[in-house]
Amino acid sequence: MTARHHIEAFLEMLAAERGAARNTLLAYRRDLEGFAAFAAGRGEDLAAASEATLRGFLVALEASGLAARSAARKLSALRQFHLYLLRERIRADDPTTGLDSPRLPRRLPKLLSEAEVDALLATARARPDAAESATLTAALELLYATGLRISELLGLRRSALATEGRMLLVRGKGGKERIVPLSEAARTAARALPEKGTWLFPGRDPAHPLTRQAFWLMLRRAALAAGLDPARVSPHVLRHAFASHMLARGADLRSLQLLLGHADIATTEIYTHVQAERLARLVEAHHPLARRRARG
Protein backbone atom coordinates (compact mmCIF):
# COMPACT_ATOMS: atom_id res chain seq x y z
CA MET A 1 0.00 0.00 0.00
CA THR A 2 1.15 3.53 -0.70
CA ALA A 3 1.48 6.26 1.91
CA ARG A 4 -1.74 7.82 0.64
CA HIS A 5 -3.65 4.56 1.12
CA HIS A 6 -2.35 4.15 4.67
CA ILE A 7 -3.37 7.72 5.52
CA GLU A 8 -6.85 7.27 4.03
CA ALA A 9 -7.40 4.02 5.93
CA PHE A 10 -6.26 5.63 9.20
CA LEU A 11 -8.55 8.64 8.72
CA GLU A 12 -11.50 6.40 7.89
CA MET A 13 -10.87 4.56 11.17
CA LEU A 14 -10.82 7.84 13.11
CA ALA A 15 -14.08 8.96 11.53
CA ALA A 16 -15.87 5.61 11.95
CA GLU A 17 -14.65 4.50 15.39
CA ARG A 18 -14.02 7.79 17.16
CA GLY A 19 -16.35 10.17 15.35
CA ALA A 20 -13.46 12.57 14.66
CA ALA A 21 -14.57 16.00 13.42
CA ARG A 22 -13.80 17.21 9.90
CA ASN A 23 -11.24 19.77 11.08
CA THR A 24 -9.47 17.10 13.14
CA LEU A 25 -9.26 14.82 10.15
CA LEU A 26 -7.91 17.64 7.97
CA ALA A 27 -5.23 18.44 10.56
CA TYR A 28 -4.20 14.77 10.82
CA ARG A 29 -4.03 14.51 7.05
CA ARG A 30 -1.71 17.54 6.83
CA ASP A 31 0.52 16.22 9.61
CA LEU A 32 0.84 12.75 8.12
CA GLU A 33 1.37 13.99 4.57
CA GLY A 34 4.09 16.33 5.85
CA PHE A 35 5.89 13.46 7.57
CA ALA A 36 5.40 11.18 4.54
CA ALA A 37 7.18 13.75 2.36
CA PHE A 38 10.01 14.05 4.91
CA ALA A 39 10.40 10.25 5.12
CA ALA A 40 10.35 9.95 1.31
CA GLY A 41 13.20 12.46 1.18
CA ARG A 42 15.21 9.99 3.28
CA GLY A 43 14.22 7.08 1.07
CA GLU A 44 11.75 5.61 3.58
CA ASP A 45 8.07 4.72 3.32
CA LEU A 46 5.56 6.32 5.68
CA ALA A 47 4.45 3.01 7.21
CA ALA A 48 8.03 1.72 7.62
CA ALA A 49 9.79 4.88 8.79
CA SER A 50 12.52 4.40 11.39
CA GLU A 51 12.78 6.04 14.80
CA ALA A 52 15.80 7.97 13.49
CA THR A 53 13.66 9.47 10.73
CA LEU A 54 10.94 10.41 13.21
CA ARG A 55 13.56 12.08 15.41
CA GLY A 56 14.95 13.89 12.39
CA PHE A 57 11.45 15.12 11.56
CA LEU A 58 11.00 16.58 15.06
CA VAL A 59 14.44 18.24 14.88
CA ALA A 60 13.50 19.76 11.51
CA LEU A 61 10.24 21.09 12.97
CA GLU A 62 12.13 22.74 15.83
CA ALA A 63 14.71 24.21 13.45
CA SER A 64 11.92 25.68 11.32
CA GLY A 65 10.73 27.70 14.31
CA LEU A 66 7.45 25.82 14.70
CA ALA A 67 5.81 26.42 18.08
CA ALA A 68 6.26 23.62 20.60
CA ARG A 69 2.49 23.17 20.91
CA SER A 70 2.13 22.68 17.14
CA ALA A 71 5.04 20.23 17.09
CA ALA A 72 3.45 18.30 19.96
CA ARG A 73 0.20 18.05 18.01
CA LYS A 74 2.06 16.62 15.00
CA LEU A 75 3.82 14.09 17.22
CA SER A 76 0.45 13.10 18.71
CA ALA A 77 -0.88 12.45 15.20
CA LEU A 78 2.18 10.28 14.44
CA ARG A 79 1.78 8.35 17.71
CA GLN A 80 -1.85 7.55 16.94
CA PHE A 81 -1.01 6.62 13.36
CA HIS A 82 1.68 4.18 14.46
CA LEU A 83 -0.62 2.66 17.09
CA TYR A 84 -3.08 2.07 14.26
CA LEU A 85 -0.35 0.41 12.17
CA LEU A 86 0.57 -1.79 15.13
CA ARG A 87 -3.05 -2.75 15.81
CA GLU A 88 -3.64 -3.60 12.15
CA ARG A 89 -0.38 -5.61 12.08
CA ILE A 90 0.95 -3.47 9.25
CA ARG A 91 4.16 -3.21 11.25
CA ALA A 92 5.39 -5.11 14.29
CA ASP A 93 6.80 -2.21 16.32
CA ASP A 94 5.97 1.35 17.31
CA PRO A 95 8.94 3.67 16.64
CA THR A 96 7.29 6.58 18.47
CA THR A 97 7.54 5.02 21.95
CA GLY A 98 11.08 6.31 22.47
CA LEU A 99 10.32 9.86 21.39
CA ASP A 100 10.03 12.70 23.88
CA SER A 101 7.26 15.24 23.42
CA PRO A 102 8.35 18.85 22.89
CA ARG A 103 8.49 20.78 26.14
CA LEU A 104 5.38 22.92 26.21
CA PRO A 105 5.35 26.34 27.85
CA ARG A 106 3.20 26.41 30.98
CA ARG A 107 -0.10 28.02 30.07
CA LEU A 108 -1.17 30.23 32.96
CA PRO A 109 -4.90 30.76 33.43
CA LYS A 110 -6.64 34.05 32.70
CA LEU A 111 -7.58 35.93 35.83
CA LEU A 112 -10.03 38.51 37.04
CA SER A 113 -9.16 40.79 39.94
CA GLU A 114 -11.31 40.83 43.08
CA ALA A 115 -12.62 44.24 42.03
CA GLU A 116 -13.63 42.91 38.61
CA VAL A 117 -15.46 39.96 40.18
CA ASP A 118 -17.27 42.41 42.49
CA ALA A 119 -18.27 44.53 39.49
CA LEU A 120 -19.59 41.48 37.65
CA LEU A 121 -21.66 40.40 40.65
CA ALA A 122 -23.04 43.91 41.16
CA THR A 123 -24.07 44.03 37.50
CA ALA A 124 -25.74 40.61 37.76
CA ARG A 125 -27.83 41.79 40.71
CA ALA A 126 -28.89 44.90 38.78
CA ARG A 127 -29.99 43.16 35.56
CA PRO A 128 -33.42 44.48 34.47
CA ASP A 129 -34.83 41.00 33.86
CA ALA A 130 -35.64 39.64 37.33
CA ALA A 131 -35.44 35.96 36.35
CA GLU A 132 -32.11 36.47 34.57
CA SER A 133 -30.79 38.50 37.48
CA ALA A 134 -31.67 35.78 40.01
CA THR A 135 -30.17 33.01 37.86
CA LEU A 136 -26.99 34.88 37.01
CA THR A 137 -26.43 36.14 40.55
CA ALA A 138 -26.83 32.67 42.05
CA ALA A 139 -24.61 31.10 39.38
CA LEU A 140 -21.84 33.66 39.81
CA GLU A 141 -21.99 33.51 43.61
CA LEU A 142 -21.74 29.72 43.51
CA LEU A 143 -18.95 29.68 40.92
CA TYR A 144 -16.87 32.22 42.82
CA ALA A 145 -17.60 30.70 46.25
CA THR A 146 -16.77 27.13 45.29
CA GLY A 147 -14.68 27.06 42.10
CA LEU A 148 -17.13 24.68 40.44
CA ARG A 149 -16.74 23.68 36.80
CA ILE A 150 -19.62 24.90 34.62
CA SER A 151 -20.72 21.29 33.99
CA GLU A 152 -20.84 20.74 37.76
CA LEU A 153 -22.82 23.92 38.33
CA LEU A 154 -25.47 23.31 35.68
CA GLY A 155 -25.72 19.66 36.71
CA LEU A 156 -26.71 20.57 40.27
CA ARG A 157 -30.03 19.27 41.52
CA ARG A 158 -31.94 21.12 44.21
CA SER A 159 -31.24 18.18 46.51
CA ALA A 160 -27.53 19.06 46.33
CA LEU A 161 -28.12 21.88 48.81
CA ALA A 162 -27.61 19.77 51.92
CA THR A 163 -27.57 20.88 55.57
CA GLU A 164 -29.78 23.90 54.96
CA GLY A 165 -27.58 25.08 52.12
CA ARG A 166 -24.39 25.36 54.17
CA MET A 167 -22.70 22.66 52.13
CA LEU A 168 -23.01 21.65 48.50
CA LEU A 169 -22.82 18.07 47.26
CA VAL A 170 -21.05 18.12 43.87
CA ARG A 171 -20.65 15.33 41.35
CA GLY A 172 -17.41 16.02 39.48
CA LYS A 173 -15.30 14.34 36.80
CA GLY A 174 -15.58 10.59 36.65
CA GLY A 175 -18.71 10.68 38.82
CA LYS A 176 -16.64 11.47 41.93
CA GLU A 177 -18.55 13.32 44.61
CA ARG A 178 -17.20 16.00 46.91
CA ILE A 179 -18.72 18.36 49.46
CA VAL A 180 -17.83 22.05 49.35
CA PRO A 181 -18.85 24.76 51.83
CA LEU A 182 -20.96 27.70 50.70
CA SER A 183 -20.59 31.36 51.63
CA GLU A 184 -23.58 33.16 53.12
CA ALA A 185 -23.95 35.19 49.91
CA ALA A 186 -24.00 32.02 47.81
CA ARG A 187 -26.55 30.37 50.12
CA THR A 188 -28.81 33.41 49.99
CA ALA A 189 -28.62 33.62 46.20
CA ALA A 190 -29.29 29.88 45.80
CA ARG A 191 -32.32 30.04 48.11
CA ALA A 192 -33.71 32.94 46.07
CA LEU A 193 -33.97 30.79 42.95
CA PRO A 194 -37.53 29.76 42.05
CA GLU A 195 -38.27 26.09 42.55
CA LYS A 196 -39.01 24.61 39.13
CA GLY A 197 -38.57 20.88 39.11
CA THR A 198 -35.42 18.89 39.80
CA TRP A 199 -32.65 21.21 38.66
CA LEU A 200 -31.20 24.09 40.64
CA PHE A 201 -30.74 25.95 37.33
CA PRO A 202 -33.61 24.78 35.10
CA GLY A 203 -33.76 25.63 31.42
CA ARG A 204 -36.75 26.88 29.47
CA ASP A 205 -38.06 23.37 29.80
CA PRO A 206 -37.82 22.69 33.57
CA ALA A 207 -37.30 19.01 32.82
CA HIS A 208 -33.81 19.90 31.57
CA PRO A 209 -31.03 22.00 33.12
CA LEU A 210 -29.98 25.36 31.74
CA THR A 211 -27.64 24.95 28.76
CA ARG A 212 -24.08 26.27 28.65
CA GLN A 213 -24.98 28.39 25.64
CA ALA A 214 -27.87 30.09 27.47
CA PHE A 215 -25.71 30.76 30.51
CA TRP A 216 -22.87 32.11 28.34
CA LEU A 217 -25.24 34.63 26.71
CA MET A 218 -26.33 35.90 30.12
CA LEU A 219 -22.74 36.10 31.30
CA ARG A 220 -21.66 37.96 28.16
CA ARG A 221 -24.40 40.59 28.62
CA ALA A 222 -23.38 41.08 32.25
CA ALA A 223 -19.67 41.37 31.34
CA LEU A 224 -20.43 44.09 28.78
CA ALA A 225 -22.64 45.95 31.25
CA ALA A 226 -19.85 45.77 33.84
CA GLY A 227 -17.35 47.26 31.38
CA LEU A 228 -15.37 44.02 31.08
CA ASP A 229 -14.11 42.40 27.89
CA PRO A 230 -16.35 39.32 27.42
CA ALA A 231 -13.32 37.43 26.09
CA ARG A 232 -11.83 37.65 29.60
CA VAL A 233 -14.96 36.39 31.37
CA SER A 234 -16.08 32.77 31.45
CA PRO A 235 -17.13 30.21 34.06
CA HIS A 236 -13.63 28.73 33.93
CA VAL A 237 -12.06 32.14 34.53
CA LEU A 238 -14.22 32.45 37.65
CA ARG A 239 -12.93 29.05 38.78
CA HIS A 240 -9.39 30.37 38.32
CA ALA A 241 -10.32 33.57 40.19
CA PHE A 242 -11.66 31.53 43.12
CA ALA A 243 -8.45 29.48 43.32
CA SER A 244 -5.96 32.32 42.92
CA HIS A 245 -7.79 34.66 45.30
CA MET A 246 -8.05 31.89 47.92
CA LEU A 247 -4.34 31.18 47.60
CA ALA A 248 -3.49 34.87 47.84
CA ARG A 249 -5.44 35.05 51.10
CA GLY A 250 -3.63 32.15 52.72
CA ALA A 251 -5.38 28.94 51.61
CA ASP A 252 -3.09 25.91 51.44
CA LEU A 253 -2.68 23.86 48.27
CA ARG A 254 -4.05 20.60 49.69
CA SER A 255 -7.32 22.23 50.77
CA LEU A 256 -7.56 24.00 47.43
CA GLN A 257 -7.04 20.67 45.65
CA LEU A 258 -9.99 19.15 47.55
CA LEU A 259 -12.24 22.13 46.88
CA LEU A 260 -11.46 22.14 43.16
CA GLY A 261 -11.75 18.37 42.80
CA HIS A 262 -8.29 17.97 41.25
CA ALA A 263 -7.12 14.36 41.14
CA ASP A 264 -3.46 15.47 41.10
CA ILE A 265 -2.09 18.30 43.24
CA ALA A 266 0.27 19.18 40.38
CA THR A 267 -2.79 20.62 38.61
CA THR A 268 -3.48 22.84 41.62
CA GLU A 269 0.15 24.02 41.75
CA ILE A 270 -0.39 26.11 38.59
CA TYR A 271 -1.85 28.77 40.88
CA THR A 272 1.43 29.14 42.76
CA HIS A 273 2.97 30.18 39.42
CA VAL A 274 0.16 32.67 38.91
CA GLN A 275 0.84 34.21 42.32
CA ALA A 276 4.60 34.28 41.67
CA GLU A 277 4.07 36.18 38.41
CA ARG A 278 1.70 38.62 40.12
CA LEU A 279 4.21 39.30 42.90
CA ALA A 280 7.00 39.78 40.36
CA ARG A 281 4.90 42.40 38.55
CA LEU A 282 4.16 44.15 41.86
CA VAL A 283 7.88 44.33 42.70
CA GLU A 284 8.70 45.56 39.21
CA ALA A 285 6.03 48.26 39.42
CA HIS A 286 6.55 49.46 43.00
CA HIS A 287 10.05 48.64 44.24
CA PRO A 288 12.13 51.86 44.51
CA LEU A 289 15.19 50.39 42.77
CA ALA A 290 13.10 48.97 39.91
CA ARG A 291 11.43 52.34 39.33
CA ARG A 292 14.76 54.14 39.52
CA ARG A 293 16.31 51.83 36.92
CA ALA A 294 13.30 52.31 34.64
CA ARG A 295 13.79 56.10 34.75
CA GLY A 296 17.50 55.72 34.09
Active site residues: 149, 173, 236, 239, 262, 271
d(C-alpha 228, C-alpha 117), whole Å = 10
d(C-alpha 250, C-alpha 210), whole Å = 34
Residue 169 pairs in a beta bridge with 179
Amino acid, single-letter form, for residue 81: F
Helix H or strand E encompassing 161: strand 161-162
d(C-alpha 68, C-alpha 76), whole Å = 12
CA distance between the termini of the chain: 68
- Please check whether residue 250 is in contact with residue 220, taking contact to mean a CB–CB distance below 8 angstroms: no
**Helix (H), strand (E) counts: the chain:** 14, 3
